[in-house]
Amino acid sequence: MFDAAPEGSETPGPLSRRLTVLSGPSGVGKSTVVAEIRRAHPRVWLSVSVTTRPPRPGETHGVQYFFVDDAGFDRLVDEGELLEWAEFAGNRYGTPRRPVEERLDRGEPVLLEIDLQGARQVRRTMPEALLVFLAPPSWEELVRRLTGRGTEPPEVVERRLAAARVELAAEKEFDVTLVNTSVQDVCDELLALMAVH
């Protein structure tokens, strides 16, 4: 009766469960959802990722991302400073480990907006995290959004569409799917899942 529970059978504690991962194909509207949460619900702490991608117009270092060069990213990987990282459409993106762990230790809700490869790494290293898949209302709508952004050269859009096709097939690996018909509805549903009122 006092035998140790088999590995992986622990009931997740209430704090560790507060890590929520929002993922889904590029262009599905993840960053719009995150921007709305940042605006309307500042209590939710949003992890700021590190990336080697150059800033888009309107993006600020330390707000949407920490923009670093390849050598800077290598250093973070080598020093074990990233909770997860992935290469996406020719650039690297990663989640700084320490700020996330500090918030979770304090019992604060944490939201990560990351790509599918990153979500899979979190699934492995933090199995108690809640994985949320943001799905487009339709494939046509996703193509329209990816093509219409107008900030990326055609070959980059092509790579993102190819990645999106693969990412859509991964929906079944997630705990919950939210369909992005309205940013407001998705935010409300996400906050309810995170138990933020």
Please give the residue ranges that form the binding site for ligand 5GP (CB under 6 A).
Answer: 26, 30, 49, 53, 84-86, 88, 93-95, 113-115, 117-118
Smallest separation (angstroms) from ligand 5GP to the CB of 48: 9
Q: Are 117 and 166 in contact (CB under 8 A)?
A: no
CA nearest to 129, candidates 7, 15, 5: 15
Asked whether residue 138 is marked as a ligand-binding residue, the answer is no
**Is 85 or 133 the residue whose CB approaches ligand 5GP more closely?**
85
Q: Measured from the CB of residue 44, what is the shortest distance to ligand 5GP in angstroms?
A: 16
Smaller CB separation from ligand 5GP, 13 or 169: 169
- Has 62 been labeled as part of a binding site? no
Q: Which among 129, 53, 62 is positioned nearest to 99, based on CA atoms?
A: 62
Integer angstrom CA distances of residue 56 from 59, 67, 129, 152: 6, 11, 30, 9
User: Annotation-wise, does 107 bind a ligand?
Assistant: no
- Residue 163 Cβ vs ligand 5GP, minimum distance, rounded to whole Å: 8
30 annotated among ligand-binding-site residues? yes
- The nearer residue to ligand 5GP, 113 or 126, going by C-beta atoms, is 113
25 is in an annotated binding site: yes
* 172 annotated ligand binder: no
Q: Which is nearer to ligand 5GP, 115 or 135 (CB)?
A: 115
Nearer to ligand 5GP, 86 or 191 (CB): 86
Residue 164 beta carbon to ligand 5GP: minimum distance, rounded to whole angstroms: 9
List residues forming the annotated binding site for ATP. Answer: 24-31
